[in-house]
Every structure is written in structure tokens, then in C-alpha cells.
Structure 1
Amino acid sequence: MNITRGKIKSAQKVVIYGPEGIGKSTFASQFPNPLFIDTEGSTKNLDVARMDKPTSWTMLKSQLEYIKSNPTVCKTVVIDTIDWAEQLCIDDICAKYGKKGIEDFGYGNGYVYEKEEFGRFLNSLEDLIDRGINVVLTAHAQLRKFSQPDEIGEYDRWELKLGKKTASQISPLVKEWADMVLFANYKTVAVATDKDGRKYKAQGGGRVMYTLHHPCWDAKNRHGLPEEMDFSYAGIAHIFNDVAPANNASAPQNPIPQPPKAEPVTQPVPQTTQIEKTPESVPLPTPQIQNDKSVNIPEGIPKALADLMRANGVDESEIRQAVFTQGHYPYDTPITNYDPRFINGCLVGAWNKVFEVIQSNRDLPF
């Protein structure tokens, strides 16, 4: 039984949300050495490092697995935005169970499946935190009528935009997971009135961010930040200085000898290279690497599958061979003739297993 005292330096889990166009992506780009997973294409005008836009839930998880296996590629992972990523999750669940929409499950079962899948997704992000990589989730905000049991009447409240019915399940998971929830908005500095004293026009001020809970929005932090701050990264930059990997990183499993004692103290990140060969992950795609060989991807193949094939150098014939090996379709059947439900549910939804079969076939003598 190990008992420790004092503060533990760790990478941070941050949620930044606000109305569209307020500058969430620009704000996130100022975090230490960020790498964007741009789910909605909002970073085209930013000079940042980014991975290919994920076109499926499987591709998004594969990109995170690549970063997890190569923790020196960045110090911050930015998923921009998490509400667009949620739609990938819903599409994946519907494809897996052969449903046209999340409502087709009936009795709210589809939302239960999504909550379970999203919970596993957030848990997987903890592996990045253990490797000293900050995780930033940006999200849009939505206004919703809200009423408290002990109050009369309703009022508008800003919330994470995670779907109308899923917000009651997914939004709490995201907020509980985060170390900081920052709400960015335009501050109303004055309300003009007419000669009779009636309010008729609000005048907007600068951009601000709120760090503590308020009846009209959700926010929190664990660093003693002021309740209201300018929407500027400079106000939180001190939190991310000299961040070292968490104490529970998988150092005891490391068979590699420790580096010499003369290693500079100001370079904690190289310690994370000890975990690059962690055996816990199955062979997964490496979407950031562009394969040298050109792969045959005929026109008509769904983009979600084509992106996974291209990212892993998988040829169209290898897909047909894997499908034939598993007894689903004859080898000569073109992929464009496959049932779309089979493509989305079995090939894209279970890509890790498909890729394992392809790798096994590559090792077979011909």
C-alpha cells in the first residue's frame, strides 16, 4: 500500500466550449505542441499540426492509438470538436446494429449504448494523460430552457452541445472527466434603454471565459482560477509549465534500463519513450504515416473505408481476400457490390480485426 502526499504534476484534461466563431480552435492551438484531430475541418486557416479528418469512429480511435504508441509526436492532443466526434460514435453504433438512426433502437436503448461507448472512449484518453500528453476537447455551446425544482419559472442556460437527448448522459460524463471546463462567450457590457426605461438593445463587449459554475452555464477548474478571465491562453499558461508524466504511468513494466543520471532535469518528456512499446494494444493503424506504396482504391468505395485503407496501405484486393477468408463474399465480388451495412458494420466498425486478418494473409505463402 503506497501513500503519497502533496501535489502530483500531471497532464491536464480540458474542455473548452462556447458559441461558434468565438475562437475555440485558436485558443486550443496555443497549448504546448498541439496536434489536432479536426473532426469538422475548422483548422484550415490555422498553422497547426493536424491528422487527417476522421471519417469514422474507428479511424478516430486508431489515430489516438497511434499517438498513444508514439507519445513524443506532441504534448497536447486537441479533438476539435467533441460534438462532431459524437456523431461519428452514433453512426458507428447504428452501423454495428443495422439501425438507420439512434432512435430506431427503441426505449432509449441506443442512448445507453452510446453512453457506454463514449465512457470507454474517455477512459482510453486517460492513457494519453498517463504518458504526459494533455487532452483538450473543444465543443459548441447551445442554449436550453432550464428550470430548477425550487424555483418558479424557466431561464436560458448554456450547455455543451451534445445532442438533445444524449446531453443528459454524455455531457455529465465529459464534465466529470475533465480537470477544467472553460466556457467562452461574448460579455454583454450594457443594455440600452428607451426614454421610458424599457430595455431594447444589448451591447456586446469583449470575449471572456468563465471558470466556475454559474446558474447560466457549466464551468469548473482545480487550479484556483478567477471566476471570469479574458479569453486568452496567457491566463492559464502557468498550469502547463514543466508538466511531467503522471506517477501512474507504466514505468514498472519498462524492461529498458533507465537513462544516465546526468540527464537534464528540465526534460521530463523523454521518459514517456519508455512506454512506446507497451504490449497492451493490438496492431492498429498508423494514420499519420503516409505509405510510400500506392494502393488500389477503386471509385465507389465508401470514404470511411477508403480512408482506413489509404492510411494503412491496404489494397482493394487485400480487403476482398480478407472477406473471402472469413467466408462472407467470394473473392471476385467487388467491394462496391458489398451490402452497405456489411461495409459500415463489419469492415469499418471492426477494422482492427479486419486489419489483423489482412496482416495474417500477408504472411501466408502464395
Structure 2
Amino acid sequence: FIPTEDGLNDIDCERFPLATGYADVLGALSALYGEEQEYRTVVLDSLDWLERLILAEVCAKRGVESIEDIGYGKGYVFALTQWREVIEGLDALRNDRGMQVILIAHAAIEKFANPETDTYDRYVPRLQKHASALVQEWCDEVLFATYRVHTRQTDEGFARKRVQGIGTGERIVRTTERPAHVAKNRLNLPDEIPLDYRVYAAFVRGENPLAAIDTETTPTTTPEQEGA
């Protein structure tokens, strides 16, 4: 893991020290590329906290306190230089070292002005739009992890209705874009799969995903053990 936010304290995993500056992230990528190591997966957690480090780097180079001080929208365009440096480093790990790359981002809700319909809300990565577009274009898969939820409407009388969200806590992954969220995949995945790495890895290898989650016969595996 290359952590840019402090959220791995209760997770047993190999990780670099918390990145507190943009140079720390580049240093971690360089170490993975140049040093002897047998890791097969690198996880950058998370992109939206990495964006804070990138914007701080841009501000430091431009001698300003806020990205908005550079000029309307210009700072975010300048930041694409740093984003491309990170992507180049990840590309090198994937292509030259054979590593699987996983990028984690939190979700945000944005207004989407669809030219064919009325404007509606959808989930997107919590990144500035230019950075989000760049990262999504580079990724082979953009997967939206969420909980399965449905709603129930009850009549409270006097023409009042109450809508209640209901869920079981079941975690799922959406793999294709829908009005409610962005997503894509180049693996011909089903529109929805369980949030279980074993299932994803089975699809990648062309195996039976149901067998992958048979916990009585299949031990739990990690991304490093599976590879993809």
C-alpha cells in the first residue's frame, strides 16, 4: 500500500509510511520500481487525498497559498502535470515489473447535465473533473463499490408519504456505467458482482466465480496472492 490518508491502522498489510507530501508518493513508486521486491500488487489509497498533496505541490511551486490564487481553473490544469507523473510511475510498475495497480477513491455526488434528458445526480470519484477524467481514461476498470439498497414508501396520511432506505449491508461492485454512477470495464464483466476479490480474480482468469466464494473449499486470498 501507498497510503495518502491515515486509514490502515487496523489492517494487516505491507505499506509505506503515510505520505505527507507529493515527493513521498513519487519516492514510494520509485522504490517499488528500482529495488528488489516480490510484490505483485500496489494499492494507492486514496486518490482524493493524493489530490490534496498534488495541489499543495502546485501551490508551492507557484508560490501561492491556495490553488484558486493561480487563476480561475488554471491551477487544476497545472496539476495534471503531477497526475501524469504518478500515472507514468504506475505504468512503469505495471508494464516493467508486472504489478497489478489498484487505485482507491471515495465517492461524491455530482449534477450530470445529460443532453438527452433532464439533469440528474450520479456518483463519481471525489476528484476535480480534469483529474478524474485523466485517471478514468488510464484505468482498465473503473468499479463502483456500494451497498445494495432499496426504498420503501409508506403513507402517513394527509397526503404525506415517507420514503425509507432499506439495506442488508450486502456489498456489491457495479462494473458498467449507469445513470446513477460512472463505471467501466474491459473484461466483459457482469454488470454487478459481489465485493469479493476472489470473484473478480475468477472472472479475470476465466474461472467459475461461484467456486471462488465457496468458503468451505476455497481459502481466503489477498490481491498479492491472486495477482491479475
TM-score range, shorter chain: 0.7 to 0.9
- Of 146, 150, 164 in structure 2, the residue corresponding to residue 201 of structure 1 is 164
In 2, the alpha carbon distance for the partners of 1:121 and 1:180 equals: 18
Aligned positions of 1:330-345 closer than 5 A: none
Which residue in 1 is equivalent to 2:177? Answer: 213
Return closer, same or farther for 1:108/1:195 CA change in 2, 3 Å cut-off. Answer: closer
Deviation at 1:184, TM superposition (A): 0.7
Which residue in 2 is equivalent to 1:236? Answer: 200
SS in 1 for 2:182: coil
In 1, the alpha carbon distance for the partners of 2:41 and 2:204 equals: 10
Which residue in 2 is equivalent to 1:62? Answer: 27
Deviation beyond 4 Å, 4+ runs, structure 1: none
Count of residues in Structure 1 that have an aligned counterpart in Structure 2: 201
Q: Is the 8 A contact 2:3 2:17 kept in 1?
A: yes
What is the RMSD of the two structures over their aligned residues, measured on CA atoms? 1.8
Paired amino acid for 1:207: R
Which residue in 1 is equivalent to 2:212? Answer: none
SS in 1 for 2:11: coil
Paired amino acid for 1:52: P
SS in 2 for 1:72: coil
Return closer, same or farther for 1:179/1:84 CA change in 2, 3 Å cut-off. Answer: same
- Of 87, 92, 96 in structure 1, the residue corresponding to residue 61 of structure 2 is 96
Larger Rg: 1
Consecutive unaligned residues in structure 2, runs of 5 or more: 206-228
In 1, the alpha carbon distance for the partners of 2:77 and 2:113 equals: 25
Deviation at 1:202, TM superposition (A): 1.6
Paired amino acid for 1:140: H
Which residue in 2 is equivalent to 1:279? Answer: none
Consecutive unaligned residues in structure 1, runs of 5 or more: 1-35, 242-366
CA offset digits 1:121-151 (Å, max 9, x no partner): 2122110011101111100000112221221
Aligned positions of 1:146-295 closer than 5 A: 146-152=112-118, 154-162=119-127, 167-194=128-155, 198-205=161-168, 206-238=170-202
**Structure whose residues are more often strand by fraction:** 2
TM-score normalised per structure 1: 0.52
2:77 matches 1:112: yes
Q: Is the 8 A contact 1:94 1:101 kept in 2?
A: yes
Return closer, same or farther for 1:189/1:51 CA change in 2, 3 Å cut-off. Answer: same
In 1, the alpha carbon distance for the partners of 2:204 and 2:112 equals: 35
CA offset digits 1:73-127 (Å, max 9, x no partner): 4111111101101110110111111110100111422111101221232122110
User: Which one has more relative contact order, counting CA pairs under 8 Å at least 6 apart?
Assistant: 1
Paired amino acid for 2:202: H
TM-score normalised per structure 2: 0.82
Q: Is the 8 A contact 1:192 1:203 kept in 2?
A: no
Percent sequence identity over aligned pairs = 35
